[in-house]
Structure 1
């Protein structure tokens, strides 16, 4: 007969192990809700709306044209190819795979032409403004001019004083997306694999700005991303599904950035409590640099 497990033993009864496993799974899945609640947060905060209407609405209309061309000329040939080659999956399966293949092709075009050059600056603004709404001015103050007397968090943002990137654009990122596109040709499993593989990368990049604001080194960032790989996978998967929605993809780029900032704010709060105590409001105000008039006007990129 085995001796009973003592307090220091690693042995756990099956029910306790199952409960522990459920907690770990739920903890990993929790980030998946942030892209969704980011939509609600963005819609609720009207100061964010001009960022989309003035900068990204025209690009959304251009993306509509891109998808119209692709669905007109590319969808039917790809559907016929899939229907003939993988006839066992049926017409519905071929139609679904062809649709996601065209959506992925549109995403490659949109990311290659617009996302890195016209959208990233806007995502930096909504990310920083959300952190300010949560009270983390001390994170933003060392990296951009701030106007604390402004009526809202977006107006508070001035010109960046350090390099400001939400998601650094690279040809490698586009190449990986192109390489993964053929996964949509695989019946049943191909499309989920495409979304999750590309979503995993998207999830990890969603907190690039947060790590830069905190001054985290690349090695520390890689280690942290590895430890949270499952959490970033589920966040990125949901964000990727939203981004594949035609016309609204640019809108969801912003709302997912808001969701990423909300997630970062929650982790920031837990980490500060864990090391001893939270930063008080007075300390956050002290973190604001004393800005004289020579700081210049509000950031030239301000749409409001």
Structure 2
């Protein structure tokens, strides 16, 4: 039995090491930051249009839910964590409350009023990055104007609302936060592992990939998607402005998708040049 445990531990350690190496090489963890910087660029002011159109309900929902959660949930959770986390109980409870608030804000916002705005943002970035053919797989493209003005009628709407399974998994992972420090880190990583692939749902649809093709692609880039998801999740935990980061993370996901498209189009050309050189 002890030998089996050691084998399983070695296997898991090997998988974690491979995933970490993949994450570092892919630099996918930088894309949420790139999305923030790209959106803040004055040349990309048109990308603010979907966000501004939803600004009032975004601010109201974020402030209302975050404030309510800290009033209702923070103190009881800090009291419980005082027995499990000791001196870091206050910080752990705050992170847990922020995570819970972010989840509720995302759930309500995506369900009721920002789904289409996020989709327009994603497609608008792809147009800016000259991925017109890709975007045309999911909607009509108009001529003239900036990238947002060129977005026509949708043919497909891929952004899925929160599913019961996602909420159940979140609740199952929640007790990890009662383990001092390590538990919170594991919780964030697990949330990142879920959030990373979700950020590219639109990309997968525009590529017209089957479910199996999506699964293979995600597994081949598991480290990259997990690192992207971790960075995005941490940004979305920032109170009161977390929905702003939902938009910048969407921009980052679109920038990553555009770079993947460029890499895919470049690879065949490089192979052809290599064959000619031979």
How would you bin the TM-score normalised by the shorter chain? 0.7 to 0.9
Unmatched segments (≥5 aa) in structure 2: 1-18, 271-278
Tell me, in whole angstroms, the C-alpha distance in 2 between the residues paired with 1:51 and 1:22.
35
Pairing 1:288-303 to 2, within 5 Å after superposition: none
Partners of 2:62 and 2:239 within 8 A in 1: yes
Tell me, in whole angstroms, the C-alpha distance in 2 between the residues paired with 1:81 and 1:273.
54
1:275 alignment partner, SS class: helix
> In structure 2, what is the equivalent of residue 62 of structure 1?
61
Select which of 208, 232, 248 maps to 1:255: 248
> In structure 1, what is the equivalent of residue 234 of structure 2?
241
Cα deviation code 1:181-210 (max 9, x no counterpart): 111111111111111101111001111111
Unmatched segments (≥5 aa) in structure 1: 1-20, 278-304
Tell me, in whole angstroms, the C-alpha distance in 2 between the residues paired with 1:273 and 1:166.
28
Partners of 1:204 and 1:225 within 8 A in 2: yes
Partners of 1:206 and 1:260 within 8 A in 2: yes
> In structure 1, what is the equivalent of residue 106 of structure 2?
111
Q: Kindly indicate whether residue 132 of structure 2 is the aligned counterpart of residue 133 of structure 1.
A: no
> In structure 2, what is the equivalent of residue 270 of structure 1?
263
1:153 alignment partner, SS class: coil
Tell me, in whole angstroms, the C-alpha distance in 2 between the residues paired with 1:174 and 1:112.
9
> In structure 1, what is the equivalent of residue 158 of structure 2?
165
Tell me, in whole angstroms, the C-alpha distance in 2 between the residues paired with 1:168 and 1:112.
7
Q: Kindly indicate whether residue 212 of structure 2 is the aligned counterpart of residue 219 of structure 1.
A: yes
Per the normalisation by structure 1, the TM-score is: 0.78
Aligned-pair distance for 1:23?
A: 7.4
Tell me, in whole angstroms, the C-alpha distance in 2 between the residues paired with 1:176 and 1:118.
24
- Paired residues, what number? 251
Cα deviation code 1:91-128 (max 9, x no counterpart): 3x101111111112212322332223322211111111
Tell me, in whole angstroms, the C-alpha distance in 2 between the residues paired with 1:22 and 1:177.
23
Tell me, in whole angstroms, the C-alpha distance in 2 between the residues paired with 1:158 and 1:33.
30
Select which of 12, 34, 37 maps to 2:34: 37
Work out which of the two has the higher radius of gyration on C-alpha atoms and give 1 or 2: 1
Tell me, in whole angstroms, the C-alpha distance in 2 between the residues paired with 1:68 and 1:245.
13
**Bigger helix share:** 2
Aligned-pair distance for 1:168?
A: 4.7
1:204 alignment partner, SS class: helix
Cα deviation code 1:23-68 (max 9, x no counterpart): 756314x000000010011121110112112214422222211111
Pairing 1:5-20 to 2, within 5 Å after superposition: none
Q: Which moves more between the two structures, 175-184 or 113-122? A: 113-122
Please report the RMSD computed on the Cα atoms of aligned residues, expressed in angstroms.
2.0
> Cα 1:57–1:192, aligned 2, differ >3 Å: closer, same or farther?
farther
Tell me, in whole angstroms, the C-alpha distance in 2 between the residues paired with 1:244 and 1:140.
30
Q: Which moves more between the two structures, 259-268 or 45-54? A: 45-54
Partners of 1:121 and 1:165 within 8 A in 2: no
> Cα 1:76–1:22, aligned 2, differ >3 Å: closer, same or farther?
closer
> Cα 1:135–1:25, aligned 2, differ >3 Å: closer, same or farther?
closer
> In structure 1, what is the equivalent of residue 76 of structure 2?
77
Pairing 1:200-215 to 2, within 5 Å after superposition: 200-215=193-208
